[in-house]
Structure 1
Amino acid sequence: MKHKKNRISLNLKHRLVANGVKVIDESVTLRRVFEKHGGICQGCQDPTVLGIHPQVPKSATIEHIIPISMGGEHTWENVTLLCYECNRLQNEKIQKQEAQRTKTKSLRLLGYEITIQWRAA
């Protein structure tokens, strides 16, 4: 199967739509983000590699500055190039921050246990 360098992947497009992203700039592709940054990871400043297995530490990935799970858009203003390792570390950091913002309270009421979860402002 030939790689279509001028289109976003179907996997990414499905993920964006599933997360309710309203603005999807289809000109924002991994290859074009890679070219914009000269193949240099914007986290560690090491060279990245395009077209290899996505979980290899120095493989090129698109990082959404405002994550799509938090309402970020797929636009040139909201993406940068990170290697897989920096992207993984960034995602772990975001998940920890989200976990700290999420509060949980369990109550027993009339023999039922009710768990309430909310996000701190």
Structure 2
Amino acid sequence: MIRGASLVAAAVAALLVWVVSTPLLGVELVVPGQGDAEPMEIGPGMIVGMSLASGLVGWGLLALLERFTSKGTLIWTIIAAIVLAGSMLSPLAMPGIDGAVRVILSLMHIVVGLIVIIGYRIPNSR
């Protein structure tokens, strides 16, 4: 139950970052297209979808590790921290992104990652 709530909280938190940055502050979250691709607008559907998808993949990996090793939570936490750090390369290294967009996307990565990592570490009640 706690992990499910953490997953939803992570998606909602990322959406709140979008609400503050885009509708309230007027920052357009647009990343340039690679090659011939058109620029891509980062909207609420993509934010919630990616947050939920990444959180579900993490949850699945954690469940597998907990099932097959006594140190599953520790191993998962290390992997999750590495994945979070690696995911920061996308908004930080992508060329042509406005500074404000770079900060907002980085903040979304951090918010989702930390909520998932902290929430999933809380033992589930059975």
* TM-score, normalised via structure 2 length: 0.33
* Structure with more relative contact order (C-alpha pairs < 8 Å, separation 6 or more): 2
Q: Which of the pair has more CA radius of gyration? A: 1
Whichever structure has more helix as a proportion of its residues is 2
Whichever structure has more strand as a proportion of its residues is 1
